[in-house]
Chains A and B, each alone.
Chain A
Amino acid sequence: MQRQLRKLGFYTAVVLLLLFAVLPIAYAVITTFKKESELFSFGANPFIYEQGPTLEPLIFLFTDTGFPTFVWNSVVIGVFVVAITVVLAVPAAYALARLTGRWGESSGMAIFLVYLIPPTLLFIPLFRIVVWLGLANTIWSLVLVLPTITVPFCTWLLLGFFRSVPQELDEAALLDGCTRFGAFRKVVLPQALPGIGACVVFAFSLSLSNYIYSVTFISESAARNISAGVPTELIRGDVYFWPSLMAATAIVAIPLGIAYGLLFDYLVRGFQASGATEAEG
């Protein structure tokens, strides 16, 4: 009897959590296919279609707005930001973890502090740099500027990760006939893959969600990404195109959600390893 009660409590909690996670997305998906007239009527049940579903908001989103361009721009920006971040953060973190002795500790902390400077302070000076480089109104402004956030954070994340790889492994590889680079590539890097995965996810998410740089550096619709393009095109004055807004959100969020879900165990290992060693140090 008591065991059954406990089971009941457990499943109730699971269902509540599930609703908490799924309801907003489900609501977005349902709203996507709603007719305007039903959406704005007060008496209507928000979870069912009393007047039947429609594809109009989706068609509007893909044909009458820059949404496909926004998605493409976001993907290009994301790929470049991830690439730059990994290429800079991995060697930086490895070097800080291994080669600089006492300086490694304080430099790692200094790099993390850079990450804490908010973009709301940085966007004005960075805008001047972007203009000076002739990159304003192009997606390359974001490719250049977003790594200022992702590189320090990922360096810090990977620093903890590389520290958790015993130095004896590098040394064993050196004695087994590897160069310093060979030891890094063949022995250390494979141990750090979950950490690098975590960095890829972080850098990509950040490049997708960053709003302030996207809005301030790019004012041309054709060069906008999702985070700036969707709200500026689908909110016109005080008119909100709710079904199309919801469609834009769901189309981006659902595939990402599934991808993160599949990678979850792997990523948690990455973040845990990092956090654990930081706490020890």
Chain B
Amino acid sequence: MAILEARQLKKHFGSIHAVDGIDFRSEDGELLAILGPSGSGKSTLMRMVAGLEEPTAGDILVNGESIVGIPPRRRNVAMVFQSFALYPHITVRENIRFPLAARKVPETEQKRKIDWVTEILDIRDLLDRRPSRLSGGQSQRVALARAMVRDPDLFVFDEPLSSLDAQIRSQARGELRSLLDRTQITTLYVTHDQVEALGLADRVAVMQSGRIHQIGTPRELYDAPANLFVAGFIGDPPMNLFRQGDEIIGARPEHLIAEADLPDDVEAALHLDVEIEHLEFLGSEWLIYGLVHGGVPESGEGLRIIARERQETPRLRAGERTQLVVPRHQAQYFDARSGMRKSGPEVAVA
């Protein structure tokens, strides 16, 4: 049970500003994801929370009290590493016992805790194995067990699913979420994978170049990105962006629709003359790749778009020329100079 807070947090390595002034405040028991491309400073942020790096400036607080300067062993922060970092020379049981033994927890208490955590994570059969004899999924459970066994105030996860096979990743995601719902421990979840962040987290902070660009629920990030970086980073495939005057108009792939499908009472923000280049079948949907020939003269030659169609068979074919529109209420508007979101279509009309 803890509220994690960062205030004007900075970490500079020489001239590199890895973390460049970050503020956020978690809710109690919240799963807060830090999402960003590699080199965005998210790992440095996480390491400062864990106590592995000292901030250059600013403060980190847990329940209102600063933890800066406290060595990692006295912060009650448990971390699950990307590589899991299981101790290879001792058995799974000893791995799980390690944090308890290091904190001098009495033996009977140790046994009770280990029983409890192995029960929850269903790893009783693995206790006598060495870490080298575990599969990826098993290693992840053991790493989770080692982190959970000591009742931490705070979990810090460093891409804990990225070393798992793709097949078991979504299953592991579901298990992780239900586990965290049960333990109600505030969690900082660092990842570069937006599917993970959007799928798991209560709120997501999008980070780039050492700054948080936006923090909000997955829905907020998708529906109302605060700036062009978030607009381009969240969503797969990313948002299509068109320049018009001193504005940039953004349209999610599913918001590029055929002109004929536009309801009569809805105005179009953009009319695009598109040549379809190719189509991609993704099971539940089709992705349509096209080259824009007209409609947005300021975006320049060779602009390409990606549209999404959820039909069994697509109505378009490669090589066709077609008219696509963006309904006005679904278009997103950004200031071309600052890249910041304009508050909505009303502004553009006025």
- Residue positions of A touching B, CB distance < 8 A: 166, 168-169, 171-179, 182, 186-187, 190-191
For B, the interface residue count at a CB cutoff of 8 angstroms equals 24
Set of chain A residues within 8 Å of B83, measured between Cβ atoms: 166, 168
Q: Within the assembled complex, what's the spacing in Å between the Cα atoms of A182 and B104?
A: 13
Set of chain A residues within 8 Å of B78, measured between Cβ atoms: 175
Q: Could you name 25 residue pairs across A and B whose Cβ atoms are closer than 8 Å?
A: A166-B83, A169-B87, A171-B50, A171-B72, A171-B79, A171-B81, A171-B85, A172-B81, A172-B85, A172-B87, A173-B98, A174-B73, A175-B50, A175-B72, A175-B75, A175-B78, A175-B79, A177-B103, A177-B150, A179-B73, A186-B98, A187-B87, A190-B89, A190-B90, A191-B88
**Residue in B50, B77, B102 whose beta carbon sits within 8 Å of that of A182 in the complex:** B102
Q: Within the assembled complex, what's the spacing in Å between the Cα atoms of A103 and B73?
A: 27
Set of chain A residues within 8 Å of B89, measured between Cβ atoms: 187, 190-191
In whole Å, how far is B277's beta carbon from the nearest beta carbon of chain A?
43
In the A-B complex, list the 6 residue pairs whose CB atoms are closest, starting with the nearest. A177-B102, A176-B99, A172-B85, A168-B85, A190-B89, A174-B72
What DSSP secondary structure best describes chain A's contact surface?
A: helix
Set of chain B residues within 8 Å of A179, measured between Cβ atoms: 71, 73
**Residue in A169, A182, A190 whose beta carbon sits within 8 Å of that of B85 in the complex:** A169
Q: A172, B102: Cβ atoms under 8 Å?
A: no
Q: A175, B87: Cβ atoms under 8 Å?
A: no
Q: Within the assembled complex, what's the spacing in Å between the Cα atoms of A178 and B102?
A: 6
Q: Within the assembled complex, what's the spacing in Å between the Cα atoms of A171 and B147?
A: 13
CB within 8 Å of A: which of B79-137?
79, 81-83, 85, 87-90, 98-99, 102-103
What DSSP secondary structure best describes chain B's contact surface?
A: loop
Closest to A174 in B: B72
Q: Within the assembled complex, what's the spacing in Å between the Cα atoms of A168 and B102?
A: 17
In whole Å, how far is A140's beta carbon from the nearest beta carbon of chain B?
37
In whole Å, how far is B296's beta carbon from the nearest beta carbon of chain A?
48
Set of chain B residues within 8 Å of A166, measured between Cβ atoms: 83, 85
Set of chain B residues within 8 Å of A177, measured between Cβ atoms: 73, 99, 102-103, 150
B316 at the interface (CB under 8 A from A): no
Contact of A176 with B102 at beta-carbon distance under 8 Å, contacts A171-B52, A190-B89, A191-B88 already known: yes
Residue among A166, A172, A173 with the highest chain B CB neighbour number at 10 A: A172
In whole Å, how far is B13's beta carbon from the nearest beta carbon of chain A?
10
Q: Within the assembled complex, what's the spacing in Å between the Cα atoms of A178 and B83?
A: 20
Q: A169-B87, A175-B75, A176-B102 are in contact. List 9 more A-B contacts (CB 8 A).
A: A166-B83, A168-B85, A171-B81, A172-B87, A175-B52, A176-B146, A177-B150, A182-B102, A186-B102
Closest to A168 in B: B85
Q: Within the assembled complex, what's the spacing in Å between the Cα atoms of A190 and B131?
A: 15
Set of chain A residues within 8 Å of B87, measured between Cβ atoms: 169, 172-173, 187
Closest to B87 in A: A187
Closest to A179 in B: B73
Set of chain A residues within 8 Å of B81, measured between Cβ atoms: 168, 171-172
CB within 8 Å of A: which of B280-334?
none
Contact of A175 with B51 at beta-carbon distance under 8 Å, contacts A168-B83, A168-B85, A169-B85 already known: yes
Q: Within the assembled complex, what's the spacing in Å between the Cα atoms of A131 and B31?
A: 70
CB within 8 Å of A: which of B38-86?
50-52, 71-73, 75, 77-79, 81-83, 85
Q: Within the assembled complex, what's the spacing in Å between the Cα atoms of A38 and B103?
A: 73
Q: Within the assembled complex, what's the spacing in Å between the Cα atoms of A169 and B83?
A: 9
In whole Å, how far is B153's beta carbon from the nearest beta carbon of chain A?
12
Closest to A193 in B: B89
Q: Within the assembled complex, what's the spacing in Å between the Cα atoms of A182 and B82?
A: 23
Contact of A175 with B88 at beta-carbon distance under 8 Å, contacts A166-B83, A168-B83 already known: no
Q: Within the assembled complex, what's the spacing in Å between the Cα atoms of A179 and B71?
A: 9
Set of chain B residues within 8 Å of A176, measured between Cβ atoms: 73, 98-99, 102, 146, 150
Q: Within the assembled complex, what's the spacing in Å between the Cα atoms of A174 and B83?
A: 16
In whole Å, how far is A143's beta carbon from the nearest beta carbon of chain B?
32
Set of chain B residues within 8 Å of A178, measured between Cβ atoms: 73, 102
**Residue in A169, A173, A175, A190 whose beta carbon sits within 8 Å of that of B77 in the complex:** A175
Set of chain A residues within 8 Å of B99, measured between Cβ atoms: 176-177
In whole Å, how far is A164's beta carbon from the nearest beta carbon of chain B?
12
Q: B146, A174: Cβ atoms under 8 Å?
A: no
Q: Within the assembled complex, what's the spacing in Å between the Cα atoms of A32 and B88?
A: 49
Closest to B77 in A: A175
Set of chain B residues within 8 Å of A182, measured between Cβ atoms: 102
